[in-house]
Every structure is written in structure tokens, then in C-alpha cells.
Amino acid sequence: MRVYILLMGVAFAASYLLTPVMRRLGLRVMGSAPLRDRDVHLSPIPKLGGVAMIAGILAGLLVASRIPFLEGVFSDTDQVLGVVAAAGLILLIGVADDIWDLRWYVKFAGQTLVGLTVAFSGVRLEAMPVGWIHISSEPLQIVLTTFLVVLTMNAINFVDGLDGLAAGMAAIGAAAFFIYCYLLARTINEYDHSNYSALLMALLLGSCLGFLPHNFNPAKIFMGESGAMIIGLMMAVATIAVTTDLDALEGFRFRNVPAYMPIILPIAVILLPMADLVLAIIRRTARGRSPFSADRGHLHHKLVDGGYSHRQAVLMLYLWSALVAFGTVSFNFFDPNVLIPVLAVLLVGAAWLTMRPLLRHARGARDAR
């Protein structure tokens, strides 16, 4: 555990220290960028924070490669180099989009290339955790891996609409995912607790926490496309790597770690972004617009328009993310007969807190008419 905490600290420090540098650079490059209708801030803010986040992750990987404790993780250098190459592509695509606002199909092509880079490096979805269905076809493995990477990157991008929202939700999800992966590593081998997915989540957590002080309301800088995509990449790769770990450990996966966790936990981590993505596609398609076009119909916009302050909306979405992610992980530690009623009460309480200002706002709108 101490090694992972050290690496979180490395990623945190690099991200935290480099973010102000990227802010100054961003103000020079794109300080005059016009506001869009869906933006909630009142003045232009640079978007190059994702560069600092990527630097934090890469710095952590570099330090990790020198630590004997993680020799098993770096025994397959192709997979690690694949993530590094994918992060480099994200850096190019994200910065280009933040500066020049690329067409959606150009970004989609770039995201597909990122997914293919991961798949051809050896990180592939070889089994479906539900029913543990093996995928023997190599082309199908590549297609599914690429699809998962692209889907996760876009889900995170869709939720990146309020100061600190995406970084905070990603940090919550990464913390929950790290706990699960570390538990899995201890279950697999009591003498070797090194784990690829745990490493990626530790670095993502540190990088997001380092960026968040500069991004929380009122934000001084945004993560931009590169930040959203690197979060999606790390989440997707960790998910795929976890399924590979458990697929290779058939005899142990039903003991201390529930067999359904590899599919439930990643879904829980990105549940809100994924729901927002699906609703946005349905909403835009129904209006005859491209599903990749932008609007103010996201969940965070609804909360702000419904009476929440900027910070209140972000904190409320943090609450939901923490309940879903950590609630899912809790099934590894507590008796479900006790945990389920407790979670039900917490979810009802969160729902009441969420709906109360919205109902008050709707009632005030009716009275005004």
C-alpha cells in the first residue's frame, strides 16, 4: 500500500505544480476564446489542464517503473507502453481540439486510434464478466476493446460541464476502483500485491486530486478534451485488465471477491456520465440533431437551472458518485443483509436532497405565472 500512496503523491505533485504553468500558457494561446451558449462561466477560461493531468500520470509511471515492488506489472512492457502511446495521442488530439475545436468526426477518428493503440498493445477484453463468456476471436477482442475505450472517454467528456465536476467524480471513482483492485491483488497472491489496474487507479487518483484545487469553483483552468479522454482511457484500461486478472484466476474469484464485481464496479464508477451520455444521444437524435452536438440538457445543467448553486450541484453529484461507487465496493467487506438496507436509506436521503431545491424551484415558477 505504501508504494501506491507514494505514486499517488508523485502524480499529485506533478499535476498540481504543472497546472498553473498550463494555465498561463493557455491564457496566451486561447485567452480570447468566445463563450458558448452551454457554458456556465462568465469569462473565458483556458482548457489545457488535461496536459498537467497526463504529465502527472506519466511521471508516476516513470517512477513506478523503477520500483522493485512493481516488477511484475512492468514485466509486460508492451501493455505499459501502449498506455503511454495512447496518452500521447490523447495529448495531441485534446490540445488540438481545445485550441481549434475539431470536427466531431475528427475527434472520433482520433479516439478510435487511441482504442486501437490500447488493443494492439495487448490490453484486450478476452472475457465478458457476466457468465464469464470467453472471447476467442482476436478481431472481436480488438473491436470490443476499442469500443469500450471510446465509449468511456465520451462518457467522461459529457459530464465535464461544471467546475471540478469531472475531476472530482473521477477521483471518487478511481479511489473506489483502487480499493477493489488492491483487494483483488491481495486475493490473487498474498506475497505480491502489485497490480496493473491498482497502479493505474492510484495514478489517476493522484493526478485528479492535484488538478482539482485549480479547477474547483471558481475554476482557474479546465481540463479540456485531453483531461476527459485520459480519465476515460485509464478507467477503460483498468476495467479490461481486471477482467483479465480474474479470468486467469478461476479458482479464486468466488472466494473473497464477488464474481460480478469486475462488471458492476466499472459501471458504477461511470454510471452518472454514462446515463448522461445515453440521455443526450436520445435527446439530440429526437430533435434531429447530431448526437455529438452540444447543448444545455446535461444533468449538471438541469441541477443549476433547477435552483442549485454551481458548487451545490457539483457536491450533489459527488454525493451520488460516492454512494454508487463506494456502495458497490462495500459488498466486498460487509454482509449484504446489513449493507443493502443501509444503502437504501442513504440513496433515499440523497434523492430527497437532490429533489428538494428542484421542487421548490418548480413551485416558485408556477406561483410566478
What beta strand segments (E) does the chain contain?
127-128, 133-134
Count the neighbouring beta carbons within 10 Å of the beta carbon of residue 90.
28
Which pLDDT does position 241 carry in this prediction? Answer: 84
Cα dist from 311 to 141, 306, 316, whole Å: 41, 13, 8
Which pLDDT does position 252 carry in this prediction? Answer: 41
Confidence class for position 288, pLDDT limits 50, 70, 90: confident
Of 291 and 68, the one with more pLDDT: 68
Total number of residues shown for the chain: 369
pLDDT one-digit tens code per residue, 345-359: 998 998 888 777 666
- Span of 59-73, 104-118, 187-201, 216-230 with lowest mean pLDDT: 187-201
- Span of 13-22, 205-214, 269-278, 320-329 with lowest mean pLDDT: 269-278
- Span of 53-57, 100-104, 264-268 with lowest mean pLDDT: 264-268
Stretch 23-31: mean pLDDT: 82
Which pLDDT does position 169 carry in this prediction? Answer: 87
Of 164 and 44, the one with more pLDDT: 164
Of 282 and 275, the one with more pLDDT: 282
- Span of 22-26, 50-54, 209-213, 241-245 with lowest mean pLDDT: 241-245
Which pLDDT does position 58 carry in this prediction? Answer: 97
State which of 81-95, 141-155, 188-202 shows the largest mean pLDDT: 81-95
Confidence class for position 155, pLDDT limits 50, 70, 90: confident
Over the chain, what is the mean pLDDT? 81
Residue 57 has pLDDT above 70, yes or no: yes
- 250-261 burial string, b = 16+ CB within 10 Å, else e? eeebeeebbbeb
pLDDT one-digit tens code per residue, 225-277: 999 999 999 998 988 887 766 555 544 443 444 444 545 555 655 566 566 66
Which pLDDT does position 255 carry in this prediction? Answer: 40
- Span of 72-81, 173-182, 303-312 with lowest mean pLDDT: 303-312
**DSSP per residue, 222-240:** --HHHHHHHHHHHHHHHHH
pLDDT one-digit tens code per residue, 309-329: 778 888 888 888 888 888 888
- Span of 37-41, 46-50, 207-211 with lowest mean pLDDT: 37-41
Binding site listing for Mg(2+): 157
Residue 141 has pLDDT above 80, yes or no: yes
Binding site listing: 157
**What is the sign of the dihedral through the CA atoms of 21, 24, 28 and 34?**
positive
Q: Parse the chain into domains and list their residue ranges.
A: 2-295
pTM: 0.84
Residue of 163, 214, 204 whose CA lies nearest to 317:
163
Residue 160 has pLDDT above 80, yes or no: no
Residue 279 has pLDDT above 80, yes or no: no
Which pLDDT does position 270 carry in this prediction? Answer: 59
Which pLDDT does position 369 carry in this prediction? Answer: 57
How crowded is the C-beta side of 73, counted as CA atoms within 13 Å? 27
Which pLDDT does position 50 carry in this prediction? Answer: 94
* 344, burial (CB in 10 Å: exposed 0-12, middle 13-18, buried 19+): exposed
